[in-house]
């Protein structure tokens, strides 16, 4: 399927240069860091003339960018580059997962948005796609850059600040101070809500090719859909039960898959 979109995929590869402006000047010497090695490997892959050799060359760049992203999991640009390399390596599931991770960190990352939109078109037409990120996603993006512990600490601090401001307002009889006390209370409520949402379910992407979705958490359960889920199918991980995960597709249908077949969009939740 991907071979039919070779030209479009090659054009997407140019986004890497925008994400890392220093690409052209990098690695004149022997690369040292994973990022330097990844940049050099990507350039080498672009210069590979034999079409049959290009996927393997881009797969090497994908692995090196993934190593760099593992060291700096908060970089939307690095995850975008993982996706760009994976897409040209014909690893559609990894590409979609990487773009989703980039957008979880920065919902307004233009290249991740554009590449994800293209990658989704390479999935079978019957696979439901999530709706695009809206204003609320961008507004709440700062929460995703914080670890669960940091969000708990920030929530406690916001609550204490709101309580202190409200107490001072009551003591001073200040209506303005009472109004301002609402702001940290709103922040506290948003942080608590995000922790509850994270605990109940999280976004994921089917990583294994041709994953059979079943009606129950058993290998003997009937298939939930007529066809297996292809790598790159975006889901919500609603429940983990042993070696099984209950996932919900974008159209609301749910099914059970092997937990090892789905990766969490949150790198910490993988």
pLDDT of residue 202: 87
Regarding beta strands 262-264 and 254-258, do their DSSP bridges make them parallel or antiparallel, or are they unpaired? unpaired
**Residue-wise pLDDT tens digits, 45-75:** 999 999 999 999 999 999 999 999 988 877 8
Which pLDDT band, with edges at 50, 70 and 90, does 217 fall under?
very high
> How does pLDDT run across 127-174, given as a tens digit for each residue?
999 875 444 444 455 555 555 556 667 767 767 776 777 777 677 776
List all residues 6 or more positions away from 262 whose beta carbon is below 8 Å from its beta carbon. Answer: 204, 205, 206, 207, 211, 235, 237, 245, 247
Q: Is 258 strand, coil or helix? A: strand
End-to-end CA distance of the chain, in Å?
Answer: 28
> What is the b/e burial string over 153-184, where b = at least 16 CB atoms within 10 angstroms of the residue's CB?
ebbeebbebbeebbeebeeeeeeebeeebeeb
CB atoms within 10 A of CB 52: 7
- Overall average pLDDT of the 219-226 stretch: 95
**Rounded alpha-carbon distances, angstroms, from residue 84 to 47, 50, 114, 133:** 16, 19, 11, 20
- State the average pLDDT for the chain: 80
Average pLDDT over residues 240-258: 95
How far is the C-alpha of 52 from the C-alpha of 138, rounded, in Å?
40
Q: pTM (2 decimals)?
A: 0.69
pLDDT in tens, 185-209: 777 666 666 555 554 458 999 999 8
Cα–Cα distances (Å) from 74 to 61, 95, 146, 230, 243, in that order, read 19, 17, 9, 28, 29
Of 186, 258, 246, nearest in space to 219 by CA: 258
**Residue 160 CB contacts under 8 Å (≥ 6 apart), including other chains:** none
CB 55 within 8 A of CB 89: yes
pLDDT in tens, 2-21: 444 454 454 455 445 444 54
Q: What phi, psi does 73 have (nearest 5°)?
A: -70, -10
pLDDT at position 120 over 80: yes
């Amino acid at each position: 399927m991907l071979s039919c979109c070779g030209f479009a995929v090659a054009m997407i590869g140019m986004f890497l240069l925008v994400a890392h402006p220093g690409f052209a000047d990098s690695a004149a010497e022997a690369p040292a860091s994973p990022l330097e090695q990844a940049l050099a490997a990507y350039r080498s892959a672009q210069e590979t003339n034999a079409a049959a050799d290009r996927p393997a060359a881009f797969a090497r760049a994908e692995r090196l960018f993934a190593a760099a992203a593992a060291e700096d999991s908060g970089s939307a640009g690095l995850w975008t580059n993982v996706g760009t390399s994976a897409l040209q390596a014909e690893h559609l599931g990894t590409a979609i997962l990487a773009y989703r991770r980039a957008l979880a960190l920065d919902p307004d990352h233009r290249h991740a948005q554009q590449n994800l939109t293209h990658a989704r078109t390479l999935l079978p037409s019957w696979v439901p796609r999530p709706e695009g990120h809206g204003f609320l996603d961008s507004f709440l993006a700062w929460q995703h850059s914080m670890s669960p512990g940091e969000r708990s600490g920030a929530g406690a601090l916001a609550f204490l600040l709101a309580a202190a401001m409200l107490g001072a307002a009551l003591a001073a009889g200040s209506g303005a101070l009472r109004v301002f006390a609402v702001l940290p209370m709103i922040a506290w409520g948003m942080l608590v809500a995000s922790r509850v949402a994270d605990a109940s379910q999280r976004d994921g992407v089917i990583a294994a090719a041709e994953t059979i979705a079943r009606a129950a958490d058993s290998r003997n359960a009937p298939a939930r859909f007529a066809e297996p889920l292809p790598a790159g199918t975006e889901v919500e991980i609603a429940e983990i039960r042993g070696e099984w995960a209950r996932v919900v597709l974008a159209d609301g249908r749910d099914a059970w898959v092997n937990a090892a077949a789905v990766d969490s969009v949150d790198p910490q939740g993988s």
